[in-house]
Amino acid sequence: MGEKFKIPEHIDLERVKALTEREISHLTIAARDAVLDIMRGGKYLRPTFLLLASETKDKIPDEAYGAAAGLELIHLASLIHDDIIDRSSTRRGMPCLHKTVGVKQALPVGDFLYARGFRLIFEKTNPQTLPSILNAAEGICLGELRQNEMIGKNVLKAKYIENIRSKTGILFAEALTCGDSFIEPELQTSKLLHDAGLAFGIYYQIMDDVKDLKGESNGKDLRSDARNGIYTLPLLYSEISTIWLRILPGFILSRLATKSGGFGKAINKAMSYKEESLGYLDKIIEKMPERTGITKLKDLINSI
């Protein structure tokens, strides 16, 4: 998975960042500064997906930028909560929020960002998109709950896919369907875009899990999933027992995944989801050349 992908130049990420920073300015000074530090390392992929899905004939509606900022706030809130649950130390090369201001402040900050994110989206998008956005929020929470239940358990591969579909795929799906809501009704393709986002999110999470176990995660605690007893796809393909997961250090688990072919099988599975995502986008590009943002989205996904 490429780390140096290039966001299309016409996407005004500085505008998205300014809108998110405006919302964060309501926090206490210590919390605000810590959140801003974490934000600076963000890729802003989900807002970019939303903006590209909103584009027709090389034009992005102004309102889409507010929704994109709201989506980034929701993503940031989920990271803050994840870091608390996972007892992580670093995020994007900076101390996790709960390490800076404490859990008692970090939790309400995450809740606040969720609320402000949803508020921005609700203000800017078609009301018809609201149920699906709320479903995404539920999916993220349920995904985290399911993951906690799976700690130390050698789960089925299908269960792992189901979980990351909720934890990661759903927000990419909603980014695309939310962007689609800004398009003229006759050009909207929410089902295809939703499925494309889900498939890409699964690809993205599998590859992130591969990098985590290899010790290649930039700016995050190394091998945090293995340390927390969480089976990811490379370990599932490697058929490593729960006993070894509990007692072996991460670098040994990584070697076992390499030797057993677990990494290769996980990467192949991830690539199948990437191709699935691109296939959905091809259908839109073929039928609707006016959706110029979809062609750019395809190029972006190919670079990731």
CA–CA distance, 223 with 255 (Å, rounded to integer): 12
pLDDT score of 224: 72
Asked whether the whole model's pTM tops 0.85, one would answer yes
- Give residue-wise pLDDT tens across range 38-49: 888 889 999 999
Q: What is the mean pLDDT of residues 45-68?
A: 96
pLDDT score of 113: 95
pLDDT at 8 over 60: yes
Asked if residue 8 lies in contact with residue 296, where contact means CB atoms within 8 angstroms, the answer is yes
Within its chain, how far is the Cα of 153 from the centroid?
24
Asked if residue 51 lies in contact with residue 64, where contact means CB atoms within 8 angstroms, the answer is yes
CA–CA distance, 53 with 205 (Å, rounded to integer): 21
Q: Give the three-state DSSP class for 225.
A: helix
Average pLDDT, the chain: 90
Helix or strand (DSSP H, E) at 190: helix 190-214
Say which CATH architecture domain 13-303 belongs to: Orthogonal Bundle (1.10)
pLDDT at 216 over 90: no
Domains of the chain, residue spans:
13-303
State which amino acid sits at residue 1.
M
Q: What is the mean pLDDT of residues 122-141?
A: 80
pLDDT score of 123: 87
pLDDT at 242 over 90: no
Q: How many CB atoms lie within 10 A of CB 165?
A: 19
- Give residue-wise pLDDT tens across range 246-293: 788 888 999 999 999 999 999 999 999 999 999 999 999 999 999 999
